[in-house]
């Protein structure tokens, strides 16, 4: 244990500052690299845009062509394409050409799980 000092009784703070060496060492070992935290932060920023979240929610149900996404969200193809480009760049969605159409789907089930867990959390 390290330094102890008395602190004010501010809510949410320890009344005595006391380092628990074993817990600190164990927790430090679980930290990932700074670069990995930056990548993770960028990944979660993708979920910080309502249009991208709407697109993800639609693609959780089924794959859709760009035209259908535009119609459902009542947005221009330029607006939807811009968001899809961002989602593709971050490996969230993929597309397949079907004739003259581009059909989008989620890259994998992880994205759907993250979306659904976030939704479940806010609906609690």
**DSSP-derived 3-state class of residue 85:** helix
The per-residue pLDDT for 104 is: 98
CA separation for the pair 124, 108 (Å, rounded) = 26
pLDDT at 15: 82
8 Å CB contact between 79 and 85: no
**pLDDT computed for residue 66 by the predictor:** 95
Q: Which phi and psi angles does 99 have, rounded to 5°?
A: 65, -120
Q: Are 93 and 106 in contact (CB under 8 A)?
A: yes
- Give per-10-residue mean pLDDT for the chain (124 aa): 56 86 95 96 94 98 96 97 96 94 95 96 95
Angstrom distance (rounded) from CA 29 to CA 91: 29
Q: What is the enclosing helix (H) or strand (E) of 43? A: helix 34-45
Q: What pLDDT is recorded for position 8?
A: 55
Q: What is the pTM of this model?
A: 0.82
């Amino acid at each position: 244990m390290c330094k102890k000092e008395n602190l004010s009784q501010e809510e949410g703070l320890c009344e005595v500052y006391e380092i628990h060496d074993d817990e600190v060492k164990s927790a430090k070992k679980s930290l990932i690299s700074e670069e990995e935290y930056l990548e993770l932060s960028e990944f979660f920023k993708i979920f910080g845009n309502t249009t991208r979240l709407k697109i993800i929610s639609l693609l959780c149900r089924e794959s859709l062509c760009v035209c259908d996404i535009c119609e459902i969200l009542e947005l221009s193809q330029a607006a939807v394409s811009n968001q899809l480009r961002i989602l593709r760049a971050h490996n969230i969605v993929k597309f397949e050409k079907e004739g003259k159409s581009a059909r989008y789907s989620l890259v994998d089930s992880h994205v759907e799980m993250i979306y659904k867990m976030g939704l479940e959390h806010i609906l609690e």
